[in-house]
A and B are shown apart, each in its own frame.
Chain A
Amino acid sequence: MDSVVLLQRQLVDYTAQLFNEGFLDDQFNQLQQLQDESNPDFVVEVVTLFFEDSERLLNELAKALEQQSIDYRKIDAHVHQLKGSSSSIGAQRVQKVCIAFRNYCEERNIEGCQKCLQQVKNEYSLVKTKLETLFKLEQQVLAAGGSIPWPM
């Protein structure tokens, strides 16, 4: 029983940390509300879709910024999509970089765009790692016979 409590505590602390550091915002809580016995993997499913979608968009962005002639509208469209999906799952830091990215697009500032691409790649990579850790902790709690104490 102790190990379950310990694992749950770890999960709660880790989650709190992600919120405090701004990796996640309240929209992530909203998603948790949508998970229940009939849809026990909903959050993982949505986040997985977000990972796939983001990786596709980041590839497109990298390609677009390598072109001889930069198509800022195309770049803006991709960033807009990334901003939307990160907002929908509560990936706050990714979303914030996207906002700056769009501003640089509007200004047709190639250096600013390149800088933002790097930043958004970093933030995405960070939140991906952290969410994967979060899901692993959840699995550990469940495997030890405990339940996920949500909302935390």
Chain B
Amino acid sequence: MGSNSVVSNRRMPEKMNCFDLSPNSNSDSEAEEVHVLAVDDSLVDRKVIERLLKISSCKVTAVDSGWRALKLLGLLDDEEEDKSSSSSSDGFEGLKVDLIITDYWMPGMTGYELLKKIKESSSFREIPVVIMSSENVMTRIDRCLEEGAEEFIVKPVKLSDVTRLRDYYMAAREIRSAESGINVNKRKLQESFDVCTASSSPSSSSASPPSLFSSPAPCSPSSLDSPTRRPKMTSLDHILI
């Protein structure tokens, strides 16, 4: 069938990837919190970023390397499989995160390399990635932003940086949630003939419903872009010290 990862997920609901953020699929109260995967080889920095995130009401998973991050996400297992496959290895549910924040300079795999691997993955490229670095190097910043990083934060990271990120990504997630809520309803329509919002006709059960990340359905908030066209946060004021 198609290589659209979201479509294939709908045909195999038991293998939901981390993009199904609709309230229906999250059974616990942790669905309210932004879940951040923090990657930093420095023990001191890991402790600080973890605390910064927790005090900002985020759920945190902190790891010390890019490899460990990829493993947790379930992305490493994908390497042997077809890139277009949405699922990680059979039955393995990777960690579901809303945001990845990673140090740039790490031994083994740099934050830039981690960013690339995430953006090259069909399953994970929609997860926003923020890069942190102690060095304010324009070429480095440009390279990261071009590769798809949402933002580049110069260390040391402050509480105001984290609360700003959290507010932004909560809003972005709510939009995605609203959109996926619409698409989940369409899937249910095929199953139970409930009435939902009428954007596209759900007449054929074999037709591919619109991708979660295509242009927004008419009833989604019109003032904000869909995640794939989300404007990058203005980060110039703090990267140009």
A residues near B, CB below 8 A? 27, 30-31, 33-34, 36, 39, 42, 45-46, 49-50, 53, 77, 80-81, 83-85, 87-90
Contacts and interface: CB of A to CB of B under 8 A. Distances in A.
A88 B45 CA distance: 7
Given A39-B51, A90-B156, 9 more contacts: A30-B158, A34-B51, A34-B55, A46-B48, A53-B44, A77-B107, A83-B134, A87-B156, A88-B42
Contact of B48 (A53, A77, A81, A88): A88
A16 to B, nearest CB: 21
A85 B47 contact: no
B159 A85 contact: no
A80 B44 contact: no
Interface in B122-155: 134, 155
B105 interface: yes
Contacts of A30: 156, 158-159
Given A34-B55, A77-B107, A88-B155, A46 B42 contact: no
Interface string B71-95: 0000000000000000000000000
Nearest to B55: A34
Nearest to B135: A80
A87 B44 CA distance: 10
B43 interface: yes
28 contacts: A27-B156, A30-B156, A33-B159, A34-B48, A34-B52, A34-B55, A42-B51, A45-B47, A46-B47, A49-B44, A50-B44, A53-B43, A77-B107, A80-B105, A80-B134, A84-B42, A84-B45, A84-B155, A85-B44, A85-B45, A87-B134, A87-B156, A88-B42, A88-B155, A88-B156, A89-B44, A89-B48, A90-B156
